[in-house]
Amino acid sequence: MKVAVVRFWGSNCDHDAIEWAPRVLGLASEVIWYEERELRGADLVVLPGGFSYGDYLRPGAMAARTPVMEAVIAHARRGGLVIGICNGFQVLCEVGLLPGALLRNQTLTFLHQEVVLRCETAGSPFTAGIGKGRLLRMPIAHGDGNYFADAATLSRLKDEDRVAFRYVDAEGGLDPAHNPNGSLDAIAGILSEGRNVLGMMPHPERASEALLGSSDGAEILQSVLGSFQRA
């Protein structure tokens, strides 16, 4: 499995993302600059976190209109795997590969803290190896992570089992006090219609080694590799 990480001006979690596959899977990561139009044969494309283009206009809006994103869209339409983390999730919503939008946190503050996520479906390459109901600990670090979609989109996401992760309390229960940014229906991550694109606000790549306080994030990458090898 070939892994590539896209780098925009203002990406700042790119190094964590670049180290992710080597450390978890022992696979190399390619780095792709936003001006490139080829993904160099990547099977899995990671859009990293950060503040691409200074969040000008809207978070992810400028990155969404770069040349490399045309290649990412084509890759996703062919069924290729894409993970967008944090700003990467915002970019995926801006290009329309995922529905909805990420609004300013309900608190109006930048939030950086550990959260507990509940895996809501095993029906995707990213979560097949994790399993529905499993709890994962990893950090969030964002100002605009408040997931929003209109009522029709939300009910479609639920009907099609496309909510990947929700924010929950330590026991795995839904609780507004543990939905840090005010996301609609406590949604932390969603899947595309084809289930090959995952967007999530929390940072699995920052929680993939015990030294970092949690290695739960590694399971997403391990799941992807497992699914890729079975395919």
Partner 1 sequence: MKARIHVFLKEGVLDPQGKAVMNALRTLGFGEVQSVRQGKFFDVETDPLAPGESEARLREYCQKLLANPVIENYRVEVLEP
- Residues acting as catalytic residues: 86, 203, 205
Q: Which is nearer to partner 1, 100 or 129 (CB)?
A: 100
Structure tokens at 113: 């803290």
Residue pair 18/31 in contact by the 8 Å Cβ criterion: yes
Cα–Cα dist 35/26, whole Å: 27
3-7 vs 29-33, strand pairing mode:
parallel
> Is 145 an interacting residue with respect to partner 1 (CB under 8 A)?
no
Residue 106 in contact with partner 1, rule: CB under 8 A: yes
Q: Is 160 in the site for partner 1 (CB under 8 A)?
A: no
Q: Is 127 in the site for partner 1 (CB under 8 A)?
A: no
Cα–Cα distance measured from residue 134 to residue 43, given in angstroms and rounded to the nearest whole number? 26
**111 is a contact residue toward partner 1 (CB under 8 A):** no
Q: Does 120 bind partner 1 (CB under 8 A)?
A: no
| Alpha carbon distance 2, 60 (integer Å) | 25
Site string for partner 1, 51-80 (x = CB under 8 A): ------xx--x---x---------------
**Which position among 2, 15, 23, 104 is part of the footprint of partner 1 (CB under 8 A)?**
104
Near partner 1 by CB under 8 A, which window of 40-48, 68-76, 100-108, 128-136?
100-108
Of 10-18, 46-54, 119-127, 142-150, which segment contacts partner 1 by CB under 8 A? 142-150
Residues near 228 by beta carbon (within 8 Å), at least 6 away in sequence: 1, 43, 44, 81, 125
Interaction of residue 134 with partner 1, rule CB under 8 A: no
Q: Which residue has the tokens 């099977």?
A: 43
Binding flag, residue 99, partner 1 (CB under 8 A):
yes
Strand partners, 140: 113
Give the shortest CB-84-to-partner 1 separation in angstroms.
16
Does residue 146 bind partner 1 (CB under 8 A)?
A: yes
Taking CB under 8 A as the criterion, the residue among 2, 15, 148, 215 binding partner 1 is 148
CB 96 within 8 A of CB 76: no
- Cross-strand partners of 11: 50
Sort strands 135-142 and 111-119 into parallel, antiparallel or unpaired: antiparallel
d(CA 63, CA 22) in angstroms, rounded, equals 25
Of 50, 100, 143, 189, the one binding partner 1 (CB under 8 A) is 100
- The least CB distance from residue 181 to partner 1, in Å, is 10
* Beta-bridge mates of residue 79: none
Tokens 């700003």 -> residue: 87
Residues that bind partner 1 (CB under 8 A): 57-58, 61, 65, 93-94, 99-101, 103-108, 146, 148-150, 182
